[in-house]
């Protein structure tokens, strides 16, 4: 059954609530009736089911380090310090994230495969240095126990990441961006869950890709390829900024970095793309979401590193993300991924959809940051809830 989508109109009032009759055969999810609730829905606490496999001691250490990260991020809020200053990563500032994962052959205090604390650091630390910092500077007494399993993962500073060719209609996995950024990636297509957004065909990506990290205005042009790859408005317009979840830089927890652009239907397509021996290959992912699970294989196709496979190492990471210009944001309940053969992502891959590496290709996350070979992604179940959308894949 063909569905007709409205074309984007920058002049249309975003708050227009005129009802549009739905097609009889199409069943839509129940609409969220309050805009404030939509944004709040992205701030759900980490579900207990994801933590019940970890003992109370690990959860307590994880919680204490989270509190430190929040305090440090609040100190940066309001531009009190410059993110690039030389001493920002000294002492406990070297800790840029914490999560819960599985011990490996380098983990001290835990058998391989057993639950452990993942400690993400900007500069290399030994296990002893990490534990000393946790005990002496943070008062995490449990860290002094020799049998507390801590996996120290060097990421460097975790930065928000910024297929380069022009293509029409544009698929997921290629360069795009707001007219005032460098370049990111189209994740996939989506549509709203209620009128009038249920007739808008949209591209999904990050806030910092489509909304210039909160600086954009609704109706701003989105180009493909992104400006860093030669995209220019109005020649390369494919969408206008339609909605985004604001990023909080004042120290409060974020859960998603996401936005939608209202696309011209003839300028985008549902498939994703990758290159094989110079030939463009198109494929589809599912619209049925999958929950994060440690150890699961996942894939993505992005603007810079193209098609890659990786393995989920953490489903509950809390990290501080550097957006440049002294702006640092705290993110909770994030997915961490390590590439199977080389890095899973690089700058410019932001906004890529991440999906299960199997024939179903169920969406799991939305890539937005990384460092030191570790990629971080929002959980897709949070993204669609926060933006009040369904994926159209």
Q: What pLDDT shows up at residue 89?
A: 66
For residue 24, the tally of other CB atoms under 10 A from its CB is: 7
Whether residue 12 has pLDDT greater than 70: no
For residue 51, the tally of other CB atoms under 10 A from its CB is: 15
Q: What pLDDT shows up at residue 146?
A: 74
Q: pLDDT > 90: what percent of the chain?
A: 61
Q: What pLDDT shows up at residue 334?
A: 98
Q: What pLDDT shows up at residue 78?
A: 45
Q: What pLDDT shows up at residue 19?
A: 28
Whether residue 124 has pLDDT greater than 60: yes
For residue 9, the tally of other CB atoms under 10 A from its CB is: 10
Query: pLDDT (tens digit, 9 = 90+) per residue, 315-347?
Result: 999 999 999 989 999 999 999 999 998 999 999
Query: pLDDT (tens digit, 9 = 90+) per residue, 67-120?
Result: 888 888 887 664 443 334 445 667 788 999 999 999 887 777 777 888 999 999
Contact 200, 9 (CB under 8 A): no
Contact 296, 30 (CB under 8 A): no
| DSSP, res 311 | E
Beta strand pairing status for 170-172 and 268-276?
parallel
Contact 337, 375 (CB under 8 A): yes
Query: pLDDT (tens digit, 9 = 90+) per residue, 49-59?
Result: 566 678 888 98
Contact 5, 191 (CB under 8 A): yes
Q: For residue 134, what pLDDT band results from cuts at 50, 70 and 90?
A: confident
| DSSP, res 90 | S
Structural domains present in the chain:
48-157 (no CATH), 160-391 (2.40.10.10)
Q: What pLDDT shows up at residue 13?
A: 39
Q: Scan for tokens 């494919």, then name that residue.
A: 238
Contact 336, 375 (CB under 8 A): yes
Q: What pLDDT shows up at residue 14?
A: 38
């Amino acid at each position: 059954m063909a569905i007709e989508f409205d074309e984007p109109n920058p002049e249309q009032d975003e708050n227009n609530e005129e009802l549009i009759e739905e097609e009889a055969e199409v069943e839509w999810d129940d609409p969220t009736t309050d805009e404030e609730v939509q944004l709040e829905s992205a701030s759900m606490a980490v579900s207990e089911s994801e933590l019940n496999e970890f003992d109370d001691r690990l959860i307590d250490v994880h919680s204490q380090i989270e509190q430190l990260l929040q305090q440090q991020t609040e100190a940066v809020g309001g531009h009190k310090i410059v993110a690039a200053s030389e001493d920002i990563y000294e002492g406990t500032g070297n800790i840029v994230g914490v999560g819960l994962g599985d011990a490996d052959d380098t983990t001290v205090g835990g058998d391989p495969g057993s639950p452990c604390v993942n400690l993400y650091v900007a500069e290399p630390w030994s296990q002893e240095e990490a534990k000393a910092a946790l005990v002496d500077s943070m008062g995490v007494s449990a860290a002094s126990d020799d049998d507390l399993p801590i996996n120290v993962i060097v990421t460097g500073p975790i930065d928000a990441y910024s297929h380069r060719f022009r293509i029409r209609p544009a698929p997921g996995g290629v360069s795009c961006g707001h007219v005032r950024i460098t370049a990111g990636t189209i994740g996939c297509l989506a549509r709203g869950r209620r009128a009038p957004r249920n007739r808008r065909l949209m591209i999904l990506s990050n806030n910092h890709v489509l909304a210039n990290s909160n600086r954009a205005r609704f109706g701003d042009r989105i180009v493909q390829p992104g400006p860093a790859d030669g995209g220019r408005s109005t020649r390369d317009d494919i969408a206008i900024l339609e909605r985004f979840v604001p990023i909080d830089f004042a120290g409060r927890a974020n859960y998603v970095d996401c936005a939608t652009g209202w696309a011209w239907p003839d300028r985008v397509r549902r498939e994703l793309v990758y290159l094989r021996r110079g030939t463009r290959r198109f494929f589809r992912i599912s619209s049925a979401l999958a929950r994060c699970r440690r150890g699961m294989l996942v894939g993505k196709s992005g603007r810079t590193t193209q098609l890659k496979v990786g393995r989920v190492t953490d489903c509950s990471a809390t990290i501080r993300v550097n957006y440049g210009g002294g702006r640092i944001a705290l993110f909770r309940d994030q997915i961490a991924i390590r590439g199977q053969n080389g890095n899973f992502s690089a700058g410019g891959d932001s906004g890529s959809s991440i999906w299960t590496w199997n024939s179903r290709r169920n969406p799991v996350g939305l890539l937005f940051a990384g460092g030191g070979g570790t990629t971080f992604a929002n959980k897709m179940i949070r993204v669609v809830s926060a933006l009040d959308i369904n994926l159209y894949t």
